[in-house]
Amino acid sequence: MSLIKSISGIRGTIGGEQGTNLTPPDVIKFTTAYARLIAQRNNGKRLTIVVGRDARISGELMADLVEGTLLACGVDVINIGLCTTPGTEMAVIHKKADGGIIITASHNPRQWNALKLLNAQGEFLTAVEGQQVLAMAEEENYEYPTIDQIGHVISREDYNDEHIRRVLELPLVNVEKVRARKFKVVIDAVNSVGGIVMPKLLRELGCEVVELNCEPTGEFAHNPEPLPQNLTDISKVIVREKADLGIVVDPDVDRLAFVNEDGSMFVEEYTLVAVADYILSHKVGNTVSNLSSSRALRDVTERHGGHYTAAAVGEVNVTTKMKEVGAVIGGEGNGGVIYPELHYGRDALVGTALFLTYLAEKQMTMTQLRATYPAYYASKNKIELTPAIDVDKVLATIKERYSNEQVNDIDGVKIDFPENWVHMRKSNTEPIIRIYTEAKSMEEADALAQRFINELKEISNI
């Protein structure tokens, strides 16, 4: 499996051949390059970097390598141990650190891990900065500091409680209103770091909590991506327990999916839609999501008098666009909620607290709330890549074929038809082409997806 070096960090499978998989020398090489980049940006001053990780089996090994490498580069370290991606991002801000490294492969299976690299604002490096890290990683003439200049571990501390506290202090999180509803919630944390923070957050909000896969062992109980086909167990538990809803997070807790009281899916695309509906009901403003996200956010935004803008896929692309247009809420259709009043990062904790406040305010069940939104259906598919496939050439051919339609090529190729759309792009996190479609029925969305899968295979001779 090749290392994937993208806007989403340095990602690969653990073990195997150096330079092809994510091995200890690779971790050291890229961590050193990152430290050098941050040092250049700070004119040689003493640096402090925050390190956090999810509960993957390889997490401790990776964290030790990262910490030791940073110390060898003359960097001081604040190690916050098991912590969510949004929690690590916030820790960088509140500790006034110069950057951060999150050790997580997000929704990827157990054999994967990754280095996600942050700047001093607790946000992901830009594509240009990422390319600089990659270039520096290939240089062989770097001299590490001598003994008197090596870094020190400033502290080993937990940041999860502080993250929860800051979420609950937000003006639009109405703790008392949520507590009054006494929601019964089933939480599936896929045996990662969400099992530490999500039950505690929910209990602070007065919920009765039923824990499912909340032991942070790193042994994922099911495919860790929070898609409907992976959530059959929680659906059964919700019905059995007569719960009000279910909540599912991915291993690093930046994605959030809800399940209705009858065990049906609220659908992860509608996580951001519902939270945005709540925020926009209190303040008029703009919204942003990526090209692969539902049209429902556009509809809800316009209903509230705001303006919707689409960004390229990737959290840094979305946050950059949010800043440009002054968005009050944004994120990605994969269940990623970005609420700038807290920080510019996808955050399942703030998404949960805002959503439960809205659900309490509306005095509705989950299925009743879901029925208030436009009915769109998404089909999410992929084609495995081989070295012989020239993705850019394939997508250029598709773009030419559909040049008479509304086409957006800022990230792959998205074709907006009057009643539906298709978005095809090379993944930032896996060796695949993603084919996402959305239509007004599941049958139509699946048919549109299959049509373009066939076209892609025909063009690439698969």
**Residues facing residue 248 across a β-bridge:** 188, 257
Distance, in Å, from the CA atom of 213 to the CA atom of 226, rounded to the nearest integer, reads: 13
Distance CA 462, CA 456 (A): 8
**384 beta partners:** 432
The count of other CB atoms within 10 Å of the CB of residue 325 is 17
| Residue tagged 């993944």 (tokens) | 427
From residue 329, how far is each of 277, 310, 340, 350 by CA, in Å?
10, 13, 7, 12
Give residue 449's Cα distance to chain centre: 24
106 included as an active-site residue: yes
Q: How far apart are the first and last CA of the chain?
A: 20
Among 282, 376, 363, 369, which residue's Cα sits nearest to residue 329? 282
- Active-site residue, from 6, 8, 58, 106: 106
- Residue where the block lists tokens 């942003």: 288
- The span from the CA of 26 to the CA of 251, in Å, is 23
Q: What ranges in 182-312 are assigned the alpha helix state H?
A: 194-204, 232-241, 269-282, 296-303
Residues assigned a catalytic role: 106
